[in-house]
Amino acid sequence: MDKRLLEIEARKEEIRALMDSKAEIDLDAIETELRTLDTEAVEIRKKQAIAESLNKQPMKTESRKEEIKLENILESIEYRKAFMAHIVEGKAMPEEFRTVAMSADNGAVIPQVVLNKIIEKLDESGKILPLVTRVAYPTGVAIPTSSVKPTAAWIDEAASPDTQDKKTAKIMFGAFTLACEVGVSFKTRIQSLSAFETVIVNNIVGAMTCAVENAIINGVGTASPKGILKETVPAKRQVKLSAALGYKDIVAIVKAIPSMYKDGAVLVMNESTFMDFEGITDTAGQPVAKVNYGLDAEPVRFLFGKRVVTTDFVPSLDEAAPGAVVAFAVQMDKYVLNTTYEMDMRQYDNDQNRNRMYQSFMVCDGKLADTNGLVLISKASA
Q: State the pLDDT confidence band at 255, using cuts at 50, 70 and 90.
A: very high
Q: State the pLDDT confidence band at 197, using cuts at 50, 70 and 90.
A: low
Average pLDDT, stretch 246-265? Answer: 93
Is the domain covering 114-146+168-382 a CATH 2.10.260 domain? no
pLDDT tens per residue across span 34-93: 888 888 888 877 777 777 766 655 544 444 444 445 455 656 667 667 766 665 566 777
Residue-range domain boundaries for the chain: 3-56, 66-109, 114-146+168-382
Average pLDDT, stretch 126-139? Answer: 83
pLDDT tens per residue across span 216-243: 999 998 889 999 999 999 999 999 999 9
SS (H, E, C) the chain: CCHHHHHHHHHHHHHHHHHHCCCCCCHHHHHHHHHHHHHHHHHHHHHHHHHHHHHHCCCCHHHHHHHHHHHHHHHCHHHHHHHHHHHHCCCCCCHHHHHHCCCCCCCCCCCHHHHHHHHHHHCCCCCCHHHCEEECCCCCCEEEECCCCCCCCCCCCCCCCCCCCCCCEEEECCCEEEEEEEEECHHHHHCCCCCHHHHHHHHHHHHHHHHHHHHHHHCECCCCCECHHHCCCCHHHEEECCCCCCHHHHHHHHHHCCHHHHCCCEEEECHHHHHHHHCCECCCCCECEEEECCCCCCCEEEECCEEEEECCCCCCCCCCCCCCEEEEEECHHHEEEEEEECCCCEEEECCCCCCEEEEEEEEEEEEECCCCCCEEEECCCC
The pTM of the full predicted model, rounded to 2 decimals, is 0.61
pLDDT tens per residue across span 353-380: 778 787 888 888 999 988 999 999 999 9
